[in-house]
Each structure stands twice: as structure tokens, then as C-alpha cells.
Chains A and B, each alone.
Chain A
Amino acid sequence: DTGVSQDPRHKITKRGQNVTFRCDPISEHNRLYWYRQTLGQGPEFLTYFQNEAQLEKSRLLSDRFSAERPKGSFSTLEIQRTEQGDSAMYLCASGLYYEQYFGPGTRLTVT
């Protein structure tokens, strides 16, 4: 069990640029989640995949955000035209049923 991995761990970008993050879930897990966490807060749900189908999306996921899980394995989260308010830790989690196991996160800083 290698755990959930995320890449990159840190990303610094200028406002207006596009960024893409990758998540590799635990291999036998069919459910994959994205959350966002700002300083001093608990994670907030963004979106959920079961296999390759995106089943749930939060209202937090504006039209600048898009997530994919093309073959039901790894997932990508893209943010277009980044804004300073997008600065946060982006967390990926995977699971089989009710439990969710988190990766180490990608820390995004928008300057």
C-alpha cells in the first residue's frame, strides 16, 4: 500500500496563469475526492469521482476549475486564470466505501 500521492507538492504561480495538479489514488480504490484547505480551516469538498464518472461537484468549484479522471485511475485538477484567492492546499483523497484516505496535498501560492 503506497498511499495516495500528489504532484507537485508545491506550486507557485502568477495570477492569471493556469495550473494542473495530479493525484494518484490507492490502487484498488474506485472513489476519488478533491478538497481545498485554507489556513486555520478544515478541508472543504470540491468534487468526487466514482471510477471515471464525476458524480458530485461543490458550488465552490467555479467554472475556472475542472477535474478529470479519464481512466478511473489518476485524476487531474486544473485551475484556469488563477486568482490570489485560489491560494490554498489542494488535497486528494481516495476510498472504497465510507472511509477517505488523504494524500500529502499540493500547496498552491498565487502571487
Chain B
Amino acid sequence: GQQLNQSPQSMFIQEGEDVSMNCTSSSIFNTWLWYKQDPGEGPVLLIALYKAGELTSNGRLTAQFGITRKDSFLNISASIPSDVGIYFCAGQHLETSGSRLTFGEGTQLTVNP
């Protein structure tokens, strides 16, 4: 089945630093979504990407849909303590796997004040 490799697994940064994380797949997707999850809560949708090459921002967050449709990255600029959490990428390909989302294993972000 489809698998997503998300890296890095964890990051420890200082407040104010920029962060970059990415997701790669062995197969193509036609939708990429990025989520943030806090302990004991459900994932919260951050950014949705629908077209290869698309670059989308949401405040300090920027995400891109890779040209090959097999990868995506998420950047966080000027990190703050509340950015702490687990970030997940998720891909969807309606024709091959229907409406289900396939998730990566997450990037655990720690921000030191």
C-alpha cells in the first residue's frame, strides 16, 4: 500500500528559529494536507494543497505540493512556544485509494523559549 515517509522524526529548536519538515511518498497523491496534533487531542488542519507545484501560506506556515506529486514540505517561520506539537502530513488519491487519507508518522517539534 501507499506509505509516507516524514522527516525529521523530531526537532528541537529555539524560539524564533525557522523550521522545515517534509514528506515523501512512493506513489503519487493529488491532495496533500498538513495537520498539527496536541497531546490527547485530534489533528487540526493547517494547510491543504491541491495542485502540483502549489505554494500556500497560512500565517507563519508555508507548504508546497511537490512537482512530482510524491512529496510536500511545511515551513514554519519565527517559531513560538505554542508551535510545540506533532505535525503530520497526509495524502489522498481518489482514483487509487478513494477518500481515505494516508498519514506520515509525524514530526515532533519542541520549541525552547
Residues of A within 8 A of B (CB): 4, 6, 31, 33, 35, 40-45, 48, 55-56, 58, 91, 93, 98-105, 107
Hey, which chain A residues are within 8 Å of B101, CB to CB? 33, 35, 43, 45, 100
Q: Give chain B interface residues in 60-84, CB to chain A under 8 Å.
A: none
Closest to B102 in A: A45
User: Shortest distance in angstroms between B103's beta carbon and chain A's nearest beta carbon?
Assistant: 3
Tell me the total A-B contact number using a CB cutoff of 8 A. Answer: 64
Hey, which chain B residues are within 8 Å of A43, CB to CB? 43, 88, 101, 103
Inter-chain contact A102/B105, CB cutoff 8 Å: no
Inter-chain contact B105/A98, CB cutoff 8 Å: no
Inter-chain contact A98/B48, CB cutoff 8 Å: yes
Kindly state the separation between the CA atoms of A56 and B96 in the bound complex, as whole angstroms: 12
Hey, which chain A residues are within 8 Å of B99, CB to CB? 31, 33, 48, 55-56
Inter-chain contact A102/B44, CB cutoff 8 Å: yes
Inter-chain contact A104/B42, CB cutoff 8 Å: yes
User: Which of B4, B43, B50, B103 contacts A98, CB < 8 Å?
Assistant: B50
User: Which of A42, A99, A107 contacts B40, CB < 8 Å?
Assistant: A107
Closest to B38 in A: A104
Hey, which chain A residues are within 8 Å of B95, CB to CB? none
Inter-chain contact B98/A99, CB cutoff 8 Å: no
Given contacts A48-B99, A56-B100, A58-B100, contact A42 B105 (CB under 8 A): yes
Inter-chain contact A44/B50, CB cutoff 8 Å: no
Q: Is B31 at the interface (CB under 8 A from chain A)? A: yes
Kindly state the separation between the CA atoms of A91 and B88 in the bound complex, as whole angstroms: 15
Inter-chain contact B45/A99, CB cutoff 8 Å: yes
Kindly state the separation between the CA atoms of A102 and B46 in the bound complex, as whole angstroms: 12
